[in-house]
Structure 1
Amino acid sequence: MAEVFVALADAVYIPVLLPALLLAGPVIAAHCLTVLQTVLLTATALVLALLLPVLGDGAEPLHYVARTLIVAVGGLLCVAVAQRHERQRADLSRITRIAERAMIPALPAELGSVRLAAHTRSAAHGARIGGDLHEAIATAAGARLIIGDVKGHGLDAAHLSAAVLSTFRRIAATAPDLACLARDLDARLGPDLGPEDFVTVLLADFVPGGVLLVNCGHPAPIRIDNRLRVLEPPRSCRPLGLSPDPYVWRVRLLPTDRLLLFTDGFTEARDRSGAHLPFDEHLHTALTAPTLGEALRDLLDLLHDHATRACSDDMTLILAQPGSHPPSPPHDH
């Protein structure tokens, strides 16, 4: 519409620099819109330049040809710029996806004798990465897993999340136990942590007949057997960055049991009255679906139906199920 107005204004002798004004739309489109939209605006500008003699602008033939050529060449340059910007956006998107996969790789469906399924959601619009983190590695004793939540959101939280994961991957396989692992993570993350930064983490070692846990300020996991059991630690432990004193405890897990680990985005899903998702038979039914993937999908459906408030936090869900192991010792929790 702006270009039509400019052409009409020029036709009634309002003194304007016509080629520059006709090219204003394509120039803006080249930087902000798609290649197709830039082509359409360039074509519109060229058509208007060609139609000016019909509107009786009174220009000399040489001036008419010159400004038509200016609009045509300028429009082609705008299209070339739009194509370059589109390639750059595609390259950035590809690099971002590679970085996301490096930071938050998909968990294997099986790690040793443990079956796994995971779901992540970032609170940042259009991003998969945020303040949540998770990883699983194989050790000589079995599967070792971390799930955590960095204080805050966005790129700053993602940077700290990447630092936690990088450190975990370097030392997790050789740490003698989870308490040592937690202390080493806390010590090595010191340079990356600001005075108000902290990271809640839950560490898990899947062992025959059970799982060993260290909880540094993280939401307690849920054991799913014939009912839902929240596994609160025997004593509290501060998050990483706040001088934690980690404590290892053991939980019995039968091959038919499952363990749900999550970040606080799960507990922030609330209905209109502010109530959390109830730990009732519907949740138990969802989490005992035939496969882990189906269980997570059913859980997400429940969360979607329950939550009437948009969640402003990242969310990570991990569902784990051990394989067949010898019976666990009688002192299990």
Structure 2
Amino acid sequence: MKIELFDYHLPKENIAQHPEDKRDHSKLLVIDRKNDLTHDKHFYDILDEFTENDVLVMNNTRVIPARLLGHREGLQGVMEVLLLNQTSKDEWEALTKPAKKVKLGTIIVFGDGSLKLKCVGIKDEGIRVYEAIYEGIFLEVLDKLGTMPLPPYITEQLSDKERYQTVYAKYPGSAAAPTAGLHFTKELLENIKKKGVEIVEVTLHVGLGTFRPVQVDDVLSHHMHSEAYEISKEAAERLNTYKKLGKRIIAVGTTSVRTLESNYKNGFHHGHYSTDIFIYPGYQFKVVDAIITNFHLPKSTLIMLVSAFYNREKVLEIYNEAVKKNYRFFSFGDSMFLK
């Protein structure tokens, strides 16, 4: 399966550089997969798409200021570190530039030295494992020294950092936001609950597996990096109940899709896990009945996931039509509801 099969032309002006003034005023493209129909709406109209037979599954991860700029101890030259995955209390996997300058034992210093990262492991593709050396509370130290790791296609500064967080973000740990959830407001969520829709929260900390570009010609040769996720006992029990009742399970974002599809094995199971699931055309979905998602990068694993859920040719047709209709793409862009 060639990567070119998932390519499309996207003019620069269609890439959203900032969020809409009001979260739920973004555009919403509703896709009826059964009848191959599309409808142009706004996100606040999504309320009309829900019934009391629906379950909305949302990823409540919170983005941390994971991008750090420092230097090797005793040396000049800027080192960039993007924290990706917390493997233990003070140990992190991180994308490092330039990685070739970091050997086992190398120490990178940040700010006034209140945070140091010592390399204790070397992985492929620019990833290093670091032991964090600091005093106090790590997230407080990180908040002073780190910046929000906005994607490279966003070139404008974000005036309000909370706009790169969902309104239901709770548990810090992500290197990127689960962007499909950025469209929800607290008021919209309350109205969704009033309609009888069940809302279940899971946690997947977004790391390299979600947003790293595919760099091979053959899709099947692409390696997905592992991401940590958690499903609480209550969430697992509720999901199992709703599944048995035949309710429609709607995943908010590809991270929720990957969490649900990874976890389900003759039922949902609570606990801490990791997933490197790679969903592309040919995959048979086990539990997800509908998806709310943004418009994704060409040749990305995310457009492959959407293509697996619907149809590759039709997805590309929809994307090309969305370009013509001036839909806004990527993290701060508009959304689609595939039902």
**If the TM-score is normalised by the length of the shorter chain, which range does it land in?**
under 0.3
Larger Rg, first or second structure (1 or 2): 1
TM-score, normalised to structure 2, is 0.26
More strand by share: 2
More helix by share: 1
Q: Which has the higher contact order (CA 8 A, sep 6+)?
A: 2
